[in-house]
Amino acid sequence: MDEQSLETRPAQEGGTLFRLRARPGASRNGLEGIHGGALKVAVHAPPEKGKANKALLEVLAKALGIPKKHLSLAKGETSKDKWIAVQGISPSELERRIQEALKK
């Protein structure tokens, strides 16, 4: 896998899992690119009491045009390195949406 390829895995029920690297406490919310197989996402929320995790899902939903209820944290609740589950979307469609969002 090259540095700019997003690491994904098939999830149960036809969804997709992907790697994410969080940057809580940032000055702004947004997608920052793909590095080391993970989508880097900055959120203004602090890493306390789940605030940053909640903000991550909100930023992803808005940037990727996916209903928030279709996104969940699969692994990494207290880590900057996480796995996000997306229901009802293929790995190729997810990659397309991420690449489109990164161009904005």
In this predicted structure, what is the pLDDT of residue 60?
A: 98
Q: Partners of 16 in the beta sheet?
A: 10, 86
Q: Partners of 49 in the beta sheet?
A: none
| pLDDT band at 4; cut points 50, 70, 90 | confident
In this predicted structure, what is the pLDDT of residue 3?
A: 59
Per-residue pLDDT tens digits for 9-64: 998 778 999 999 999 999 999 999 999 999 999 999 999 999 999 999 999 999 99
pTM score, whole prediction: 0.92
97 token code pair? 């949406």
CA angle centred on 29, ends 11 and 78, rounded to 5°: 55
| pLDDT band at 1; cut points 50, 70, 90 | very low
In this predicted structure, what is the pLDDT of residue 81?
A: 98
Given a cut of 80, whether residue 92 has pLDDT beyond it is yes
Domain spans in the chain, listed from the N-terminal domain onward = 16-88
CA–CA gap between residue 38 and residue 16 (Å, rounded) = 14
Number of neighbouring beta carbons within 10 Å of residue 79:
11
Superfamily of domain 16-88: YggU-like (3.30.1200.10)
CA–CA gap between residue 25 and residue 7 (Å, rounded) = 25
| Residues 39 and 30: beta-carbon distance below 8 Å | no
CA–CA gap between residue 18 and residue 94 (Å, rounded) = 9
